[in-house]
Amino acid sequence: MTKKQHDRNKHETDKLIKRLRRHTGQAIADYSMVEDGDHVMVCMSGGKDSYALLDLLLMLRDSAPVDFRVTAVNLDQKQPGFPEEVLPNYLKKKKVDFRIVQRDTYTIVKRLIPEGNTTCSLCSRLRRGILYKTASEIGATKIALGHHRSDIIETFFLNLFYGGTLKAMPPKLVSDDGNHVVIRPLAYCREQDLQAYARVQEFPIIPCDLCGSQPNLQRQVIKETLLGWEKTQPGRVETIFRALSHVTPSHLLDPNLYEFRNLQVTGVPSPFGDVGFDPQNTQGVGFSSLEEAAL
C-alpha cells in the first residue's frame, strides 16, 4: 500500500468514526438515554453491532459531560461450538468491567420449537428475562442494546406487513418487568457504517448458529427489500426513517391515539386539517391566501 492510499484509508476511517460517534451522541441526547451517575449494562452478543456499541459508549464516556459507568455482559446460551473464550479475552484486553452469564437456553429452545420453525421469539424472551435479572444483580440503571437504524426500519415493516400494527423499536423504553430502562444508542447509525467499522476494528465476530442459520426469516425478506429500494431509489430508506419521528396522529385511523369522536369546529385554522394533504410547497400558506390566488 502506498502512502497516498494509506492516508486516504485513514481519512475515510476517521470520517467513519466521527460519523458513528456523532449519530450515537445525538441519539443519546435526543432521548436522554444516559444521565449523570448511570451504570450502563452493554449487552454483548459477539456480533458487530454490540462490539461497536461498546466501543462508542467507551469513547463517549471519556468525553461526555456526564459521568457514567459501563459494564459489558454476555449471555452464553450454550450453543454447540460457541467459542466461550473469545469475549472474555477481548473484554480483558479492552480493560472494561464485564460479566459472563451462562444459561442453557439453547436446549430449551430446541426442545420447545419444532424443527424448521423460527426460534427468535422464544430465544429473545428467555434472553430478556436473564438479562433483566443480571442488570438487577449488578445494579445497572440502563440496559443498552445494539439495534441500529436498519433494525428499527425492518421492525416497522415486519409489524406493518405481518402484524397489522404501526410500531417499530423505540430508542428508549421501560422493560417488560417494569424495573429497567432499555436504550438503543445506535438508533441513528446505518448498518453499512457499522459493518465498515467492524472490518476496520477486526472484531472477533461470533456467529449465532441458533437463529442466524435460518435464511428464510421474514426479517431477511424485509432486509432484502430495503436494500433493493436503496439501490433503485437512493434516499427512500432515509425518508422512511425520518417519517418514524414525524408522526401525525390526526391523519391516521386510531381513535385511541387521536380524539376523532369529539372533534368540533373552532373557526381557527388548524395545522392538522386538510392542509396535511397538500404538497410541500403549499405548506404554511393560509387557506384565504390560496383562495385569493385562485381568484
Q: Any idea what the CATH number is for the domain that residue 89 is in?
A: 3.40.50.620
156 and 266 share one domain: no
Neighbours of 180 (CB within 10 A): 20
183 and 46 share one domain: yes
> Is the residue at 222 inside a domain?
no
- State pLDDT tens for residues 185-199: 999 999 999 999 999
Phi, psi of 76 (to 5 degrees): -85, 105
> Is the residue at 219 inside a domain?
no
The last residue of one of the domains, among 151, 181, 211, is 211
> Is the residue at 67 inside a domain?
yes
Residue 280, pLDDT score: 59
55 and 199 share one domain: yes
Residue 215, pLDDT score: 46
Residue 94, pLDDT score: 94
201 and 282 share one domain: no
Residue 208, pLDDT score: 67
Which portions of the chain are predicted below pLDDT 50? 212-213, 215-216, 290, 293, 295
183 and 260 share one domain: no
183 and 278 share one domain: no
Residue 212, pLDDT score: 47
50 and 196 share one domain: yes
Q: What percent of the chain has pLDDT over 90?
A: 64
178 and 284 share one domain: no
> Is the residue at 144 inside a domain?
yes
> Is the residue at 231 inside a domain?
no
> Is the residue at 82 inside a domain?
yes
The last residue of one of the domains, among 211, 235, 266, is 211
Which cell numbers in the block locate residue 100?
459472563
State the residue range of the domain holding 278: 249-294
- State pLDDT tens for residues 52-107: 999 999 999 998 889 999 999 999 888 888 898 999 999 999 999 999 999 888 88
The last residue of one of the domains, among 152, 185, 211, is 211
Cell 426469516 identifies what position? 217
117 and 255 share one domain: no
Total domain count, the chain: 2
32 and 140 share one domain: yes
> Is the residue at 39 inside a domain?
yes
Give the Cα separation of 122 and 84 in Å (integer).
22
275 and 180 share one domain: no
> Is the residue at 244 inside a domain?
no
200 and 254 share one domain: no
